[in-house]
A and B are shown apart, each in its own frame.
Chain A
Amino acid sequence: MRSPAGPGRTQQPAPGAAPSGTPEGPGRAAGPGTAPRFALALAALGAVVVAGIALGAVRIPLDVVWRALVGQEVPPPYDVIVHDVRLPRTITATLVGAGLGIAGLQMQTLFRNPLADPFVLGVSSGASLGVALVVLAVGTSGWTASFGAGLGVGGDVGIAVAAATGAGAVMGLVLLVGRFVTSSTTLLLLGVMFSYLVSALVTVLLAGATPELVHQYVQWNFGSYRGVTWDDLQVLVPVLACGLLACLLLPKRLNALLLGERYATTLGVDVPLTRIMIITVTAVLAGTATAFCGPVQFLGIAVPHLCRALFSSSDHRILLPACAVVGAALALGADVLAQLPGDEVLPLNAVNAAIGAPVVIWVLVRRSRSGATA
């Protein structure tokens, strides 16, 4: 489960930065090095995992949590809830959080745009179109019963397949058109325009739907890690793990892209190939996450900014594992917070936004104050 965090432990300090403690760069040289920061982030992730299994409608004692984590038998009163609810939720949230954090980082670097997130190229709007179509088709053909009640929607196979198909179709379209586009900025605008078009289509579909179906769609739009079953995990875990592993090939190319595409080219980077690699990996990570959990918002945009600030670095060899660990911790943490009110579970995206929006605001205000070029 923590495999994405692995490379963080072997991370080297920032290249060329360590030896000279110059007076320049106030607040940079001070503070702990990269390794302690990773230790801290991993500790936070560990704490959130424990909280994620222990807290909820039923409180579970810590010794039982420990038994569950190390894979021992869980005693009867708790076994069902740990095995069927808390563990799948924990695995899903950490993997999806890690994936969305990394995907957001890659999009922000590729487009050199601090507002980019994993969904800028239309993954979530494509998925929502697929879901809207299925919800509507089901609604008109009377399969509504198969949809399960309430928050269980995310786990439904039909919904997942529909979301994945929709996301894949829109991404494919963007990539296809993108082959004729040389500028990344144009590609970004294309993605945004496609999203608007698809959203318009979804709106039209929903306008004709019954209130119950609209409600189902809205529920899906809230995002949730709770509907994911062990059967779903057999697809979700390998796909997300492959996506996360593929990301390990990219830090060097992403670092070169920090200087802009032309500088990257003079450094020997195949920029068009790199762009396709980044977009494909992002589509796999964000598309899979959206298929099973709905469009989980704000993590993708907030986690990279948070990691740049926490690790005071722009080096992707540090940021990539950092986004995985912090993304996982934040995703699960937000979900734990969402269930704190007790019986009612707050919409996940509302909690994500409550955490994510202040982070983005803080980062942007700090950037503009420090006079960095936007």
Chain B
Amino acid sequence: MTPPLRISDLTVGYAGRRGRRAVVLQHVTADLAVGELACLVGPNGAGKSTLLRSLAGLQPYFAGEVLLRGTDARALGRAALARTLAAVLTDRFDAGRLRAGEVVALGRHPHNGWSGRLDAADRHAIDRALRMVGVDGLAGAAFARLSDGQRQRVLVARALAQEPAVLLLDEPTAFLDPPGRIALMALLRRICAERGTAALVCTHDLELATRYADRLWVTGAGRGLVTGAPEDLAAGGALTAPFERAGVRLDLRSLTFVPAEGNGPTARVLGRGVRADLAGHALRRAGFRVPDGTGHGRAAPLVSVDVDGQEWVSTTACGRTARHRCLEDLVRHVRGIRDELDRTGPSGPGTTEGERP
């Protein structure tokens, strides 16, 4: 079956002065299948937005081919392109007195006639898009007065009103709070599943992308594009090079970024459950290395923490025990112990040097 979007050997970048070209990405080859949600990820400046804009027809590409449902995008007219592919951009605009419903209705542009008059089919598509995104109650509200999350949903509805085969989204979660990000990605998942739309989401947020994308398109490793399921890419190391910095590493088990552990002292949490996990969180925040699972650390821990009902009990290597009503108190206590040891001798227990595990 012909994929909604097929990119072969594409070169994108910027045209400079006197015909000079600044190539950003080269030899990009990828497919987007029906109902697939792909996330385009990569560090800043790796060409995510350039690729997305080139696909959306907002800037020319230098070489290669973009096929939309099997047709060369350059052979499609403007309106035909807009009926196949819709975009949610980062552009902010002054909506004036436009109502949310009117913004969505603008999505019918490539479908209706010269006067922009909406017929029954147009209205049906608008209603369907509003309902799908869950903003049908906001149709009469002024767009300018909506919250960031509502706006982003209305803009997704506007793109859906175009009834595209391919949906491109540029950083759609950028201005949203964490629950809003999850909700938007879940919505996109649902849109892809229910309408069979193929969506490509450009995002900074690798953690969110690995949780929702069927496939990742990764830029930043050399000049090309690497694609695959998030876990496969992680296992193969493709996510490591573009994203890791000094002091930050990608934890392969949770696919989240964590601070690279330095050579801080070790602490151990003995219990299980939420309160134990929170104690581990607090100790990591305090600068301790907290080995998870049952793996035995090489060094004896400086401090062990156990959960006892509503309280936490800390025991130091030299056997001092203290009870803590809250984790703030625990953190203060263990920091005190560490500072004390630092003063008395650098070779105290638990300060063995440790690189990345």
Contacts and interface: CB of A to CB of B under 8 A. Distances in A.
Contacts of A211: none
A20 B136 contact: yes
Contacts of B136: 20
A259 B103 contact: yes
A14 interface: yes
Interface centre among A256, A266, A268 (most CB of B within 10 A): A266
Contact of B96 (A17, A29, A308): A308
Interface stretch (A75-83, A290-298, A313-321, A326-334): A313-321
A22 B78 contact: no
B15 to A, nearest CB: 11
B91 A16 contact: no
Contact of A314 (B96, B109, B114, B118): B96
B98 A263 contact: no
B106 interface: yes
A126 to B, nearest CB: 29
Interface in A224-253: 249, 251-252
A28 B140 contact: yes
Contacts, number: 134
Interface in B54-93: 56-58, 77-83, 85-87, 89, 91-93
A262 interface: yes
A263 to B, nearest CB: 6
Contacts of A249: 114
B94 to A, nearest CB: 5
A110 to B, nearest CB: 13
Given A251-B116, A266-B86, A373-B144, A259 B106 contact: yes
Contact of B141 (A25, A263, A315): A25
Interface in B140-174: 140-142, 144-145, 162
Interface centre among A12, A21, A265, A267 (most CB of B within 10 A): A267
Contact of B58 (A259, A266, A269, A315): A266
B116 A252 contact: yes
Interface residues of B, number: 51
Given A24-B140, A252-B115, A372-B96, A16 B126 contact: yes
B199 to A, nearest CB: 15
B109 A258 contact: no
A323 to B, nearest CB: 14
A270 interface: yes
Contacts of A263: 87, 89, 91, 93
A189 to B, nearest CB: 19
A373 B146 CA distance: 12
A138 B115 CA distance: 48
A312 interface: yes
State which size class the interface on A falls in. Answer: 35 or more
B137 A258 contact: no
A210 B269 CA distance: 96
Contacts of B56: 266
B101 interface: yes
B93 A112 contact: yes
A196 B320 CA distance: 82
A22 B137 contact: yes
Contact of A262 (B89, B97, B98): B89
Given A16-B101, A262-B58, A266-B57, A25 B78 contact: no
A24 B142 contact: yes
B138 interface: yes
A315 B102 contact: yes
B107 interface: yes
A255 interface: yes
Contacts of B85: 266
Contacts of A267: 82, 106-107, 109-110, 162
B117 interface: yes
Given A25-B99, A267-B110, 17 more contacts: A14-B102, A16-B101, A16-B126, A17-B99, A17-B139, A17-B140, A20-B139, A21-B140, A22-B138, A24-B145, A258-B96, A262-B89, A263-B87, A266-B86, A268-B80, A268-B83, A315-B102
Interface of B: 56-58, 77-83, 85-87, 89, 91-99, 101-107, 109-110, 112, 114-118, 123, 126, 130, 136-142, 144-145, 162
Interface of A: 12, 14-17, 19-22, 24-25, 28-29, 112, 249, 251-252, 255-256, 258-260, 262-263, 265-270, 308, 312-315, 317, 370, 372-374
7 contacts: A20-B101, A20-B137, A25-B141, A252-B109, A252-B116, A260-B93, A267-B106
Which 10 pairs of residues, A with B, have the shortest CB-CB distance? A16-B101, A24-B141, A268-B82, A252-B116, A314-B96, A15-B105, A268-B79, A268-B110, A267-B109, A314-B97
